[in-house]
Structure 1
Amino acid sequence: MDYAVRALTVDDEPVVWEMLQYASHEPSLDSVQKQPYLARYASSWGRVGDVGCVAIRDTASIGAAWLRLWLEEDKGFGYVNDVIPELAMAVLPDYRGQGVGTRLLVQVLDMAKEWFPAVSLNVRADNPVVRLYERLGFITVPGSEIVNRTGGISFNMLCEFE
């Protein structure tokens, strides 16, 4: 499959919103935007500490991976500390299993190494992407397991850079 990957810009906020809908398993963009704890992952994209990339096929976005820094008083689901950004990513269903997610994750981690000591994330325990995260160096943060908003189990993972 032919597609390109490029850095996200401040003009890509609509792309981040679209991919957040898929990352959060929500049925609509409106549903994401009405939930402040989800909306903050896309709102005002391009602020200090925002880093990411998008996969594009023809002229359409097919996936994205992005990082956001949080302060403890406004922490995201995968918060570890104020200097480690949290990863969010999604690939459109028709493009999953074709290496798009791997390529996006490798690229965003390479970008992150220039600025941050590590990257964190929060993931549902039953999500098959856990294997990808482990393959690329993420480890489970002990004691981070919680009952998530859907009643399942989620936990944090961390990828530390050398």
Structure 2
Amino acid sequence: MTPDRTVLRAATPDDDSFVIEMARHACVIEDRPLPDPDDDEVLEMLPPAGVVPIIAQDHNGTSVGAVWTYYGSPPLRCDAAGVPLPELCIAVAPGHRGVGIGGMLLDALFAALVQSHDAMCTNVHVRNPAKKLYERKGFRAVGQGNGPLGLALIKDLR
């Protein structure tokens, strides 16, 4: 599949189980066991009320990726006024990675957030291949993230 055959759309309630599945993938580095759907880490990453994930679908209408923001507790990073920054949750289904879908999802999320947020953040494992994508899309390292190998990244949106 190529990104030019991918369609992005707002999630609907019918996508709830897919969003949970993508949150499970977002919790781990590739090839590690996925956490259970009711694992605390998965539940924390689910979109809060008022946040509508963006879903990527292939040309057959199969959902292959999703992106949204959430607020971790404690927050990963705050702005200068002490307000928590929205945190990134993104995942692309195995077999569909590495062809540009993640970049498309990030661009759509940035466009959706720019009117309401100055910045956002994410935590990435230092060995996660997605780290390179985040850096290409303008995230910059700002220090220790979650866990001993976590790196906090911030993306300025304005």
> Scaled by the length of structure 1, what TM-score is found?
0.80
Count of residue pairs the alignment pairs up: 147
Amino acid at match of 1:109: F
Decide whether aligned partners of structure 1 residues 139 and 154 sit closer, same or farther in structure 2, where only a CA change above 3 A counts: same
Distance in 2 between residues matched to 1:51 and 1:118, nearest whole Å: 18
Stretches of structure 1 lacking an aligned partner (at least 5 in a row): none
Q: Is the CA contact (8 Å cut-off) linking 1:9 and 1:46 kept in structure 2? A: no
Tell me the residue number matched to 2:154.
158
Q: Is the CA contact (8 Å cut-off) linking 2:71 and 2:85 kept in structure 1? A: yes
> Scaled by the length of structure 2, what TM-score is found?
0.82
Root mean square deviation of aligned Cα: 2.1
Amino acid at match of 1:80: R
Distance in 2 between residues matched to 1:61 and 1:158, nearest whole Å: 27
Tell me the residue number matched to 2:15.
12
Distance in 1 between residues matched to 2:22 and 2:155, nearest whole Å: 22
Stretches of structure 2 lacking an aligned partner (at least 5 in a row): none
Q: Does 1:80 align with 2:77?
A: yes
Any idea what SS the aligned residue of 2:53 has? strand
Any idea what SS the aligned residue of 2:117 has? coil
Q: Is the CA contact (8 Å cut-off) linking 2:27 and 2:41 kept in structure 1? A: no
CA shift digits 1:44-74 (9 cap, x unpaired): x4503x243110122321011111135xxx3
Q: Is the CA contact (8 Å cut-off) linking 1:117 and 1:161 kept in structure 2? A: yes
Amino acid at match of 1:147: G
Structure 1 residue 86, shift from structure 2 partner: 0.3
CA shift digits 1:13-52 (9 cap, x unpaired): 22210111211126356x141x21331212xx4503x243
